[in-house]
Amino acid sequence: MSLWLDFLGVEVRYVQTPSFGRIRIAEAGKGNKDVILFQHGMNGHLEAYAKNVMPLSDRFHVIAFDYVGHGLSDKKNDDYSPAIFADQVAELMDALEIEAAHLSGESLGGWVSGLFAAKHPHRVRRLMLNTAAGIPVVSEKGKQDLMTFMGLNKRNVDSAPTRESVTARMQWLMHPSNHHLLQEELIDLRLRIYLAPETRRVAPQINAIMQRHDDFLIPLEQLQCETLFLWTRDNPIHDLEAAQSAAARVPRSSIHVMEGNAAHWPQYEAPDEFNAVASRFFAGEGAGAA
């Protein structure tokens, strides 16, 4: 299925922010009271939530967006870190006149969401950390997974990205049984973004973020809102053991382990399950309840 069919009914537009320039957003369900902000992973873009924005817009005002330096948002910064992306979230919420929202972030997006929730607790209603980075690695496997991830990213920085290198990076995101979801349109979109001169310019700074991973860990004990760790058994980075260890440090936390086959992109790999869990959690009907 085309991404445009997934996004049928979604408004895609740009929002101007004071410090980060133009930010691309995808938005649906404007009339609904509660807002969900979806945040993608490192080197990603808002299309990671193509299968979630419209389905959840029946109950929520749903917004996915590109971080500065990513996707089709501006590339004006020369310094990038999870803390800077958290500042972007604040400016975007201000520009959209959103006082408080539910946050759901995958990988880097979860990392940023956690930092934002700790710094601005009054602006976060509920928090979903979806295969998130920014939590301590607690196993030898986790350390090796981190090195593998940095190696895959390095291939797209040291030389011009190719269809082969982008495909390998995206296959890493998904469970082997879901590689059929990597249709040409999705790979072509990411390759086109990666080859853009402005993306190539900032790619080294973006990829350097993971080298400083432990400098920006989420202060887990400071998270005040209800927090759901949504994880998979086959997450290729930050394994389930890391999620369980992190959740034990968050006062109001729970874990939902995906039943469907998924790796690092559960929102895309098993969208029906993800959307059902997200809808219940953000509606206050139970943290990942069946």
Longest dimension (CA), the chain: 48
Half-sphere exposure of residue 73, counting CA atoms within 13 Å on the CB side? 31
Tell me which residue of 75, 66, 70, 65 sits closest to 21, measured CA to CA: 75
Instruction: Give CA–CA dist 240/229, Å, rounded.
Output: 10
Domain residue ranges in the chain: 3-282
Label residue 76 by pLDDT band (50, 70, 90). confident
Predicted local distance difference test score (pLDDT) of residue 290: 40
Mind listing the pLDDT tens digit for each residue in 225-267?
Answer: 999 999 999 999 899 999 999 999 999 999 999 999 999 999 9
> Among 73-82, 129-138, 143-152, 174-183, which is the least confidently predicted range?
143-152
Q: What's the chain's Rg over C-alpha atoms?
A: 17
Confirm if 50 and 116 have CB atoms less than 8 A apart: no
The architecture of the domain spanning 3-282 is 3-Layer(aba) Sandwich (3.40)
Label residue 287 by pLDDT band (50, 70, 90). low
Label residue 130 by pLDDT band (50, 70, 90). very high
Label residue 202 by pLDDT band (50, 70, 90). very high
Classify burial at 108, counting beta carbons within 10 Å of its beta carbon; exposed 0-12, middle 13-18, buried 19 or more: buried
Instruction: Give CA–CA dist 223/243, Å, rounded.
Output: 15
Confirm if 24 and 73 have CB atoms less than 8 A apart: yes
Percentage with pLDDT > 90 across the chain = 83
Predicted local distance difference test score (pLDDT) of residue 156: 65
